[in-house]
Structure 1
Amino acid sequence: MASDHDTLWRRCAYLGRVLLPLVDKEPWRQDHRRERLHSWDIEVSVGERLIEIFAALAAHAVAVDTFLPASELKTLPLSAVAGAATSKQDFELLAGLPDTFADERDDIAVKVFRLYAYKGGQTSLQLLRLSTEVRHTLTVLAAREAVPAPTCGDIFRQADQADLPQ
Structure 2
Amino acid sequence: MTSDHDMLWRRCAHLGRVLLPLVDQEPWRQARRHERLRAWGVDTAAGERMIEVFAALAAHAVALDASLSAAELDALSLRAVADAATGKRDYELLAGLPDTFADDRDGHAVNVIRLYTYKGGQYSHRLNQLSRELRHALNVLAERSTTPSPTCGDAFRWAAEAEPPQ
TM-score interval for Structure 1 and Structure 2 normalised by the shorter chain: over 0.9
**4+ long deviations beyond 3 Å:** none
Give 1:129's aligned residue: 129
Q: 2:144 & 2:83 partners in 1: Cα distance? A: 18
Give 2:35's aligned residue: 35
Residue 44 of structure 1, CA deviation: 0.9
Two-structure CA RMSD over aligned residues (Å): 0.8
Give 1:138's aligned residue: 138
Q: 2:81 & 2:154 partners in 1: Cα distance? A: 13
Aligned partner of residue 98 in structure 1, secondary structure? coil
Q: 1:72 & 1:142 partners in 2: Cα distance? A: 19
- Equivalent runs, 1:1-166 vs 2, <5 Å: 1-163=1-163
Q: 1:152 & 1:144 partners in 2: Cα distance? A: 14
TM-score (norm 1): 0.97
Q: 2:138 & 2:98 partners in 1: Cα distance? A: 24
Aligned length: 164
> Among the aligned pairs, what percent are the same residue?
66
Structure 1: stretches of 5+ with no match in the other structure: none
Counterpart code for 2:57 = L
Structure 2: stretches of 5+ with no match in the other structure: none
Counterpart code for 1:142 = A
Counterpart code for 1:94 = L
Q: 1:132 & 1:159 partners in 2: Cα distance? A: 22
Q: 1:41 & 1:123 partners in 2: Cα distance? A: 12
